[in-house]
Amino acid sequence: EAGVTQFPSHSVIEKGQTVTLRCDPISGHDNLYWYRRVMGKEIKFLLHFVKESKQDESGMPNNRFLAERTGGTYSTLKVQPAELEDSGVYFCASSATAARTDTQYFGPGTRLTVL
């Protein structure tokens, strides 16, 4: 069974440009999460999808970030326009249920560098 995949693995863009990150969850997982780790700080929650609906987007830093999950399968996270402080590693995770006891399986991450 394939794990969580993310694309691209690395992205280098200039300030003001747009970047779109993609996440493919484990097949059959209704729950999809985005997290990020910036400047060596803690990994922070961004948002949670249940199927195609945003269940919780309390961690989204501002309106330059837009996440979608059309059809309830893969998800995209767009940053527009990118700022220097957006540099970091963006992780996607998926789980079968949203129970606090359930394991969230992580992808390898996308390292974003904004110059």
Partner 1 sequence: GNSVTQMEGPVTLSEEAFLTINCTYTATGYPSLFWYVQYPGEGLQLLLKATKADDKGSNKGFEATYRKETTSFHLEKGSVQVSDSAVYFCALNAGNMLTFGGGTRLMVKP
- Using CB under 8 A, list all residues that contact partner 1: 4, 31, 33, 35, 41-45, 48, 55-56, 59, 91, 93, 98, 100-101, 103-109
Of 56 and 81, nearer to partner 1 (C-beta) is 56
Q: Which is nearer to partner 1, 31 or 75 (CB)?
A: 31
Distance between CA atoms of residues 92 and 84, nearest Å: 21
Which residue's CB is nearer to partner 1, number 37 or number 64? Answer: 37
Q: Which of 48, 1, 31 is nearest to 96 (CA)?
A: 31
Q: Please report how close the Cβ of residue 20 comes to partner 1 at its closest, in angstroms.
A: 19
- In this complex, which beta carbon is closest to partner 1, that of residue 44 or of residue 78? 44
How far is 69 from 76, CA to CA, in rounded Å? 7
**Taking the complex as a whole, how short is the minimal distance between the CB of residue 34 and partner 1, in angstroms?**
10
Residue 104 Cα distances to 30, 37, 80, 83, 101, angstroms: 11, 16, 27, 29, 9
